[in-house]
Amino acid sequence: MNTKLLEQLGIYGWSLEDENLAMASLLTGDPLLMVGAHGAAKTHAAGKIAQAMDWRFMAYDASKALFEDVLGFPNVESLKQGRVEYVPSAVTVWDKQFVLIDEINRAVPELQAKWLEIIRSRKIMGFETEVKWVWSAMNPMGRQYNGTQQMDAALIGRYAIFLYPPEALDMDEEDRIKVLRHINGDDAPSIGEWCPQSETKTVGKEQTVATGKQIREVLLMAGSLFQSLEKDFQSLGEFLSRLAVLVMKETDGNVKLDGRRLGFIYRNLLANRAIELARQALYGNYLPAFAQSAKKVILSSIPMGLNDEGINREEMLHKVEVCLDLLADYFSEGGNFQRVETVYRLFTTTDLFEKAEILLGENLSEMVKLKAWNDLCDTSESITPLAYIALRVEANHPGKIPSELLEKVGGQIDLQNLETDSIPGLRGQHIELLESVEALLDQPDDLRRMIAYQEVRGLVMWPRLDAVDISKTAERIKSTAARIESLLGKG
């Protein structure tokens, strides 16, 4: 059973996942931005929710509203007494609880900056308001919508959730028919004059009030669940910190999750899960796997492509999704951070031998192994020692390397270049250490020589080098060899 509460308000075509995200925004109060074409009922959705919850609501058209409309005019009498006050009206923001800032990307930059204060802190000109919930709506950037403006990065950064309400042709036929038959809001304003005996609105006041009670019931239960989830997932902050690094690496720095964005994602994850659990308890809604819903939440919490900056939104989302898939065990195993830490080290360490220990010694998913080996084989850096060790492990314990990549991994072994690249870097003031460094390469077997060549390649690049460094390198070669031999002996 999937009870769609927004559908009961005449908001059709939204997935249950998007409805939960909208309710998560109502739970936390963090701002939400709806991005969609004209006619996607963005304003209608906000207005009906406010009506159902009996909240004082105002929808402002940012492309037209003068700030005097929002703020009011200065009270001349209070100015005479040295106090700054504004004369309120039916449209001023002071007493509103829920506001929608429509057409936010049609506001000129100067007015975008003024809206920022309301979105960020629920204040205006430094004065407190009664606003608790702020949603905004915009059309996508592009030629189809003349008059859209670039949105300031600081403004985009204040939104916690980014929803893309469906257009009619994106819906299944059943929902599309509901949309075309729906009469509400500004639709057909004169029908009541000629059909006084019939109910002209599809969603009446009684149903709206009843749905508002259901929404409130879900939010109240979700509020208590939010706190318990925070205790259950105490390492969620560490998980998101690791995710941020992987995402930046995977997207070549195009997606950077700052502290505020990570805070939004943290609250969105807990709030959305709390909504899902509350709906299951109250209405028997299907409870999706946490890993599945967490992916939806995180992807909906990252702004990409809103300013038409040449970033391929779908490509970037896919790369973020890959990072989430790598770390998905965190949610499926009840917050097991150790699994996250292992995968994180695999994809961030620059130590080839640490990579070898993780790749060949840990119980990793096929997806993680495929991604890691492909990344290694596609890099311009030499991975000869890792490939050599991997093939030796694979010979003793088949299955450590995905079968489709065996040939590709084998092709990464280049012993000649590994040897010739090691010593030439030793120049100038380090030349007197040449014999000591060459002695490091005098090892009793192939494995130790391989490890020694890799260590020496890094050693000779040091700006300052002395006998102590060489001694430490010798010890590191011994300890690494012992670790790798242990790995080779594991079943």
For residue 175, the domain's CATH number is 3.40.50.300
pLDDT of residue 86: 80
pLDDT tens readout for residues 285-330: 899 999 999 999 999 999 987 876 556 788 999 999 999 999 988 9
Is residue 296 in some structural domain? yes
Q: Is 425's pLDDT higher than 60?
A: no
Q: How many domains does the chain have?
A: 2
Is residue 340 in some structural domain? no
For residues 215 and 285, membership in a common domain is answered with yes
pLDDT of residue 157: 94
> Which of 438, 431, 386 minimizes the C-alpha distance to 412?
386
Mean pLDDT within 162-168: 92
The 3-state DSSP class for residue 420 equals: helix
Q: Is 488's pLDDT higher than 60?
A: yes
Instruction: Please give the residue that has the higher pLDDT: either 188 or 297.
Output: 297
Instruction: Please give the residue that has the higher pLDDT: either 249 or 186.
Output: 249
> Which of 248, 340, 345 minimizes the C-alpha distance to 302?
248
pLDDT tens readout for residues 132-142: 999 999 988 76
Q: Is 101's pLDDT higher than 90?
A: yes
For residues 31 and 137, membership in a common domain is answered with yes
For residues 298 and 362, membership in a common domain is answered with no
| This prediction's pTM | 0.86
- HEC per residue, 215-228: HHHHHHHHHHHHHH
Mean pLDDT within 461-481: 83
For residues 89 and 224, membership in a common domain is answered with yes
Q: Which of 274, 294, 319 is a domain's end point? A: 319
| 98-102 and 123-124 strand pairing | unpaired
- Beta-carbon count within 10 A of 62 CB: 23
pLDDT tens readout for residues 365-414: 889 999 998 998 888 888 888 888 888 888 877 888 888 888 888 888 87
| 86-87 and 73-74 strand pairing | antiparallel
The 3-state DSSP class for residue 110 equals: helix
Is residue 434 in some structural domain? yes
Q: Which domain holds residue 224?
A: 7-319
| DSSP state at residue 392 | H
Distance CA(328)–CA(368), nearest Å, equals: 10
pLDDT confidence of 106, banded at 50, 70, 90? confident
Q: What amino acid occupies position 380? A: S
pLDDT confidence of 447, banded at 50, 70, 90? confident
For residues 138 and 58, membership in a common domain is answered with yes
Distance CA(449)–CA(477), nearest Å, equals: 9
The CA-atom distances, in angstroms, between 175 and each of 16, 166, 167, 179 are 13, 11, 11, 6
pLDDT of residue 288: 93
pLDDT of residue 200: 62
Is residue 115 in some structural domain? yes
Do residues 434 and 426 lie in contact, with contact meaning Cβ atoms separated by under 8 Å? yes
Measured between alpha carbons, how far apart are the two ends of the chain, in Å?
47
pLDDT of residue 491: 47
Is residue 99 in some structural domain? yes
Q: For residue 244, what are its two tokens?
A: 């941020």
Alpha carbon 212 to its chain's center = 30
Is residue 417 in some structural domain? yes
Is residue 190 in some structural domain? yes
Mean pLDDT for the chain overall: 86
The 3-state DSSP class for residue 299 equals: helix
- Beta-carbon count within 10 A of 463 CB: 6
Q: Which of 297, 319, 341 is a domain's end point? A: 319
